[in-house]
Structure formats: structure tokens, C-alpha cells
Amino acid sequence: MKPERVILFFTGIIAVILLGAVLKLARGVFLPLVIAGLLYFLFAPIVKFMSDRKIPTPLSTTVVLLIFIGICVAGGLFLNTRIQAMIGAFPRYYERFETLFNTLINQFELSPVWWENFHLAPAIGEHLLALSGFLMGFLTNLILVVFFLVFLLLGAPYFDNKIDMALSPRNAARARTVTRSISRQISSYLFLQFLISAATGFLAWGIFAVVDLDFAITWGVLTFLLNFIPNLGSLIAAVPPILISLIQFYPVLGPTIFVGVGLLVIQQIIGNFLSPKVMGERLNLSPVVILISLLMWGWLWGVVGAILSVPITSSMKIIIDNIEPLKPLGVLMSSGQFTHKTRAKQENHNHS
């Protein structure tokens, strides 16, 4: 290998590490900006459509943002109210949990030494309070997201004109293709993910309501929200309701088994069959790439980064696919099914 390529390779690695450090340290600025950028691709076609119908851009932008802010504020306040109710009920549940745990220790003659040094109540209480604070922080950061989004949406109707003036005709056409592909793919992903998550949350709520589980609506909403995190979200969402059902109904185990089996069936049907089929065809991303992006963005920006991992990675792949030297990397990031279908069609055409 030539020395220049070795130097370029290690320079690229150093640049990626430095970029990751900057993104993590300055997450307070970059995270709202990235969220605003993704929302721009979702809302820009709506603003442009209204602008083409002679509706003033400031008015259309205001309407879109007011609807968005209203949904976010209502959702945040609802979740915060439910969390406060759970904080109030926590001592009662923890008392029942200690009774259950002591019963199991006595029944199976286990040593309680390790349990005496494990203070679960303060840890759970701190996490509940932290979650409530996170929601309030989210509503605060929403102001910064809206601030970025206002300027992006106000320029949406004039984006194509600015591209034509800034670039050559060939590069301008390619830039428009990339932006439209990102907008179409992100919009399609968010819409389909919303439908799949809503169906998952509704079915989960139905299971919780059948057994009359406490905070059934809260667990249904939690299932809906965490389902936006690929692969791991639905598994994480299943843990709290199963534990609560065990504590609430013990020594009767029927409701807990019903909840666990019901969530497993939903996960198998929607999570392992319907969702991969729909998302795989829309995104054309390798499952390994999705997992790596989930871990990387989750490490950088926490839960919000995990939720945004797929749209960010999908946008990066579209850009890579339109840069000639990086096309091999785009092929490696793809699921491979479209490449396989393309080869099959070419072989059939050659044989015919």
C-alpha cells in the first residue's frame, strides 16, 4: 500500500474519532439541529405544497409548527402526569415487591446476604425522577428545535432555486435527487414506523386492559414510544409491565403469563415479521448497519440518539450512494436483497 493511502486512512480514522468527540461534547447544540434537519425533510414538502397553492410561506410554516408543538407539548405533559402518578404509587409497589421477594427467599431457602446490600428502592425512585426531569428538559429543548426549524422551513420553497444558482446543472440535478430521496425515505420511514408502533402499542394496551393491569395506558404509550428504537425498544418496553403484573397479581401467575405470552406474540408477528419486511424494502439497510448505528448514536446521544439512528443512517446512505468514490461503501451498507434481485433479473434477461 502506498504511503499516501496509509496516511489518508489513518487521517480518516482520527477525523472520525474527533467528530464523535465533538458530537458528544456539543450534543446540546447538535442534537436539536439534527432533529430540526430531519423534521425539515418531513415538513418541507407540506410547506412547499401549501406555497404552490398561493398560501404565504410564513402562514404555512406557522400552521405546521403550531400543530407539531401542540402534539409534543400534549404528549410530554401526559407522560409527565403518568410518571408523577407512578412515583406516588411506588412505595406501595415496592412494599409488595419486598413481600414477594422475601417469600421466594424463604420458599427456596436462599441467602439474603447479597440482597441486604442491594438498595433497589432509591435506585428506581431516582430513575423515575430523572425520567420526569428528562421530559421537562425535552420540552425546553423543543424551543431550540423549533428555532432551527423555523429558518429551515421559511427557505423550503426557494431551496431548488438556490441549488440551481449555486451549482452546475448536472450537480444541481444530483443535489435535488439526493434531497428528494432523503425527504421521501425519511417521511416514509417515520410514517410506517408510526403506524407499526401505534399498532404495537394499541395491541399491548389491549393485553394489559384484559388483565386489568395498573397503569395500562402508560405501558401502552411506553411500548409505542420505545418501539421507535430498532431491535431493542420492544424488548425493553416489555420488562416493566411484566414485573408490575407479577407484583400486582402474585401469588396468581395467570395474568403475568398472559401478559408475557401476549407481548411475545406481538413481537413475533409485528417485530420479527411485519416490521423487517416493510422497513427492509423501504430503507435497504443491512441489519448489522442498523445495529451498529443504534449502538453508536445511542452512545453519543442516549435514547434520543437511538431513536434517530435509523433516519440518520438512511440519510447518510443516500448521500454515499450519490458520491461516486463512496458507492462501494453504500453497497456494503445495503441489505443486499435489491442487489440480489437486480442480478437475478439480469441473469434471466441474459438467458432469455
- Residue 205: pLDDT band (50, 70, 90) is very high
Q: What confidence score (pLDDT) does residue 162 get?
A: 80
Q: Is residue 339 predicted with pLDDT exceeding 70?
A: no
Q: What confidence score (pLDDT) does residue 281 get?
A: 60
Q: What predicted TM-score, i.e. pTM, was given to this entire model? A: 0.75
Least confident of 113-127, 139-153, 314-328: 113-127
Cis amide bond preceding 251, omega within 30 = yes
Which grid coordinates belong to 15? 477525523
Each residue's pLDDT tens digit, 87-115: 777 777 777 777 777 776 676 666 655 55
Each residue's pLDDT tens digit, 145-176: 888 888 888 877 777 788 888 778 888 888 88
Least confident of 118-122, 182-186, 242-246: 118-122
What is the percent of the chain where pLDDT is above 70?
81
Which grid coordinates belong to 151? 429558518
Q: Is residue 329 predicted with pLDDT exceeding 70?
A: yes
Residue indicated by cell numbers 440551481: 164
Q: Is residue 345 predicted with pLDDT exceeding 80?
A: no
Q: What confidence score (pLDDT) does residue 346 get?
A: 45
Closest residue by Cα to residue 153 from 316, 36, 28, 319: 36
Each residue's pLDDT tens digit, 260-287: 898 888 887 877 677 766 665 666 777 7
- The span from the first CA to the last CA of the chain, in angstroms, equals 43
Each residue's pLDDT tens digit, 40-79: 877 877 887 887 788 887 888 888 888 888 888 888 778 7
> Hey, what long-range contacts does 327-333 have (CB within 8 A, 24 or more apart)?
332/286, 333/285, 333/286, 333/289
> Dihedral of CA 189/298/225/259: which sign?
positive
Q: Is residue 349 predicted with pLDDT exceeding 50?
A: no
Which one has a higher pLDDT value, 343 or 43? 43
- Residue 195: pLDDT band (50, 70, 90) is confident
Each residue's pLDDT tens digit, 4-21: 777 777 787 888 788 888
Burial class (CB in 10 A: 0-12, 13-18, 19+), 5: exposed
Least confident of 95-99, 248-252, 307-311: 95-99
Alpha-helical runs (H) found in the chain: 3-25, 27-52, 57-108, 113-116, 120-154, 159-166, 169-210, 216-226, 233-249, 254-266, 275-283, 287-321, 327-333, 337-351
What is the percent of the chain where pLDDT is above 90?
2
Q: In the predicted model, what is the mean pLDDT of residues 120-134? A: 60
User: Domain map of the chain by residue range?
Assistant: 28-166, 185-352
Q: Is residue 336 predicted with pLDDT exceeding 70?
A: no
Q: What confidence score (pLDDT) does residue 110 get?
A: 60
> Hey, what long-range contacts does 241-250 have (CB within 8 A, 24 or more apart)?
241/204, 241/208, 241/213, 244/93, 244/213, 244/214, 244/215, 244/219, 245/211, 245/213, 246/100, 247/93, 247/96, 247/97, 247/100, 248/93, 248/96, 248/213, 248/214, 249/211, 250/96, 250/100
Closest residue by Cα to residue 189 from 30, 41, 46: 41
Which one has a higher pLDDT value, 204 or 193? 204
